[in-house]
Amino acid sequence: MKPWILWVGSILFGTGCQTITYYTQAARGQLEIISGQEEIFDLINDPTKPEKIRQQLKLVSNLREFAKANLGVDPKDNYRRYRDLNRKYVLWVVYAAPKFSTELKSWWYPIVGNMTYRGFFNETDARSFASKMQGKDLDVHIGGTPAYSTLGWFDDPVLNTFINYREEDLADLIFHELAHHHLFVKGDTTFNESFATAFAQIGVTEWAKAKQNPRALEDYLTRRQTKHMVNQLYVQKKIELKAIYESLETEEEKREAKKQFIAGFRQQLNDMSLSDPRLSKLAILAKRPINNAVLGARAAYHQYVPAFHQLYGESNQDMHIFLNKVQAISKLNKLERNTLLDKYIRQNEMPVKKLLTN
């Protein structure tokens, strides 16, 4: 029996009527990705194809080899084929959170357990679902994503949604998704995404070093340091807003405090954008929606990134030792994992740029 038949069957059996529509669109979207794939090596050797695409596909092939030889993860048959979906994103992801909580709502999925997002292959479907969540008095956030991992159920292809990324950004995406294939903890979005994010950052740094391209490395580290600073700001704001909610009793008090907090955060983003040229884009973020779901989503991907960098440093920048330690942590229960990772964050006083270059 073909793997996709098993996958679709595992999704549909045991689900209620309200979720069958969701899983049907998921199955249909996955089948769209499976159909029409082309072998990368055939495209690379086809002189009728655009030279830019051929070069990018060669880069992907090299990144696969590097990941296996130097980063301790086996790509297997992932990223050996190419699929052009003729759209900007492969998925639109919806996050939701209660009006007075920064903890994201979760949904149960077969195989992977509870996850703090809902993915749609069609933007209209995603926005329709988001509207329903808003109708239930939830804060929502929608984001387009260029890639995702099927965790071994399928061989993930290279997609047009990310093929034209600059070299270091393409490497970051490939390494991030391969990290999910290597290790995935059922029902723990923050652990999984923080690990994959940190692993990708470490991997890109090693890639740039191996290519002996100090300028590319410096450029990547500078951009990564700026992004890290912004992401950790959002993580801190989530913590602060959570504390505010917990300190107040009535909904009226929480509503007013939330309003003032968000206004203050917007002003902070604007002030930072004016004080540092590297942060000029923060003025754009200040104009976008800011709510519990936005803060929760950012934290899910970045909360424990400093902890994993600290762990890598304690592993003497040895990827084999690092991955073994992460594997051991993944076997702890969620409370124990979070407690240990929080400890690593408290120990992490080194600037991220120094961590990445060690």
> For the chain, what is the HEC assignment?
CCHHHHHHHHHHCCCCHHHHHHHHHHHHHHHHHHCCCEEHHHHHCCCCCCHHHHHHHHHHHHHHHHHHHHCCCCCCCCCCEEECCCCCCCEEEEEEEECCCCCCCCEEECCCEEECCEEECCHHHHHHHHHHHHHCCEEEEEEEECCCCCCCCCCCCEECCCCCCCHHHHHHHHHHHHHHHHCCCCCCHHHHHHHHHHHHHHHHHHHHHHCCCHHHHHHHHHHHHHHHHHHHHHHHHHHHHHHHHHHCCCHHHHHHHHHHHHHHHHHHHHHHHHHCHHHCCHHHHHHCCCCHHHHHHHHHHHCCHHHHHHHHHHCCCCHHHHHHHHHHHHCCCHHHHHHHHHHHHHHCCCCHHHHHHC
* Beta strands across the sheet bearing 81-83: 38-39, 81-83, 158-159
Asked if residue 17 has pLDDT above 80, the reply is no
Q: Distance between CA atoms of 273 and 281, rounded to whole angstroms?
A: 7
| 298-309 confidence digits (pLDDT tens) | 999 999 999 999
How many beta carbons lie within 10 A of that of residue 131, not counting itself? 11
pLDDT at res. 49 = 93
| 47-67 confidence digits (pLDDT tens) | 999 999 999 999 999 999 999
pLDDT at res. 14 = 40
pTM of the model: 0.90
pLDDT at res. 8 = 43
Query: HSE on the CB side for 298, CA within 13 Å?
Result: 21
Given a contact cutoff of 8 angstroms between Cβ atoms, the answer to whether 323 and 265 are in contact is no
pLDDT at res. 9 = 40
| 133-156 confidence digits (pLDDT tens) | 999 999 999 999 999 999 888 999
| 263-298 confidence digits (pLDDT tens) | 999 999 999 999 988 899 999 999 999 999 999 999
Query: HSE on the CB side for 153, CA within 13 Å?
Result: 20
| 68-94 confidence digits (pLDDT tens) | 999 999 999 999 999 999 999 999 999
pLDDT at res. 353 = 39
Which pLDDT band, with edges at 50, 70 and 90, does 348 fall under?
A: low
| 298-342 confidence digits (pLDDT tens) | 999 999 999 999 999 999 999 999 999 999 999 999 999 999 999
How many beta carbons lie within 10 A of that of residue 261, not counting itself? 16
Mean pLDDT of 186-191: 93
Mean pLDDT of 118-136: 96
Mean pLDDT of 196-215: 93
